[in-house]
Amino acid sequence: MSDLGEMTKKRIRENGLPIIDEARTKAPLYVSMRELPLRFQFGTTKIQKFFDGLKEGKIYMTQCEKCTQKYFPPQADCPNCPDSSMNWVPLDGQGELLTCTMIVVKPSTFAHYDNYIIGVAQMKEGVRVLAWLRIDDPRKITPKMKVRLTTAKREPEGFITYEFVPE
């Protein structure tokens, strides 16, 4: 219950039930007290080239034909225009690390991994990318270090993804 507001916690204690009044309508609202794992699916038809590229060892971004805005991860439609005329542009892979952090307290679905580092890098093409940083010693990380975005197979799941490696 730590992420629930104090008023919500108080109301639940008073009622003895996880039911509160919805703020706008005052209708009774059940508040789940347990986290539920969420598995989702979404169609990839319009961005399938991104996943095909990963299998080929290539990483793509998209760029709107109309306004030239660049997107990573790739977007099927330009949220800036909006327009559906998107071009696929391969990322060179060269980037500069802007920030990073070591993940020690992990989501339950990542608990089987050792501590890992995620970082944000500014890529040569102008987009920023969030990805894991594969490095043998975190003490080797330096401000503005050069990184390369590359494909990798994530184990034990066995799927292909992308990550940064130092240059």
Number of domains in the chain: 3
The model's confidence at residue 9, banded by pLDDT at 50, 70 and 90, is: confident
Residues 72 and 130 in one domain: no
Residues 151 and 117 in one domain: yes
Confirm if 91 and 150 have CB atoms less than 8 A apart. Answer: no
Residues 100 and 49 in one domain: no
Residues 23 and 70 in one domain: no
Residues 59 and 98 in one domain: no
Confirm if 134 and 165 have CB atoms less than 8 A apart. Answer: yes
Lowest mean pLDDT among 47-51, 104-108, 116-120, 126-130: 104-108
Give the range of the structural domain holding residue 6, as residue numbers without chain letter: 1-36
Residues 110 and 147 in one domain: yes
Tokens 């940083």 identify what position?
133
Adjacent-strand bridge partners of 45: none
Task: Read off the tokens for 62.
Answer: 């998209």
Average pLDDT, rounded, for the chain: 91
Residues 113 and 156 in one domain: yes
Provide long-range contacts, Cβ within 8 A and 24+ apart, for 5-9: none
Residues 64 and 6 in one domain: no
| Other CB atoms within 10 Å distance of the CB of residue 105 | 6
Judge whether residue 1 has pLDDT over 70: no
Residues 120 and 85 in one domain: no
Report which of residues 103 and 26 the model is more confident about: 103
Report which of residues 164 and 9 the model is more confident about: 164
Q: DSSP letters of the chain?
A: -TTS-HHHHHHHHHHSSSEEE-TTT--EEE---S----------GGGHHHHHHHHTT--EEEEETTT--EESS--SSBTTTTB--EEEEE---EEEEEEEEEE-S--GGGTTSPPEEEEEEEETTS-EEEEEE--S-GGG--TT-EEEEEEEEETTTTEEEEEEEE-
* pLDDT score recorded for residue 8: 79
Residues 139 and 105 in one domain: yes
CATH for 107: 2.40.50.840
Residues 14 and 52 in one domain: no
Percent of the chain's residues with pLDDT above 70 = 95
Residues 55 and 124 in one domain: no
Confirm if 155 and 163 have CB atoms less than 8 A apart. Answer: no
Confirm if 18 and 30 have CB atoms less than 8 A apart. Answer: yes
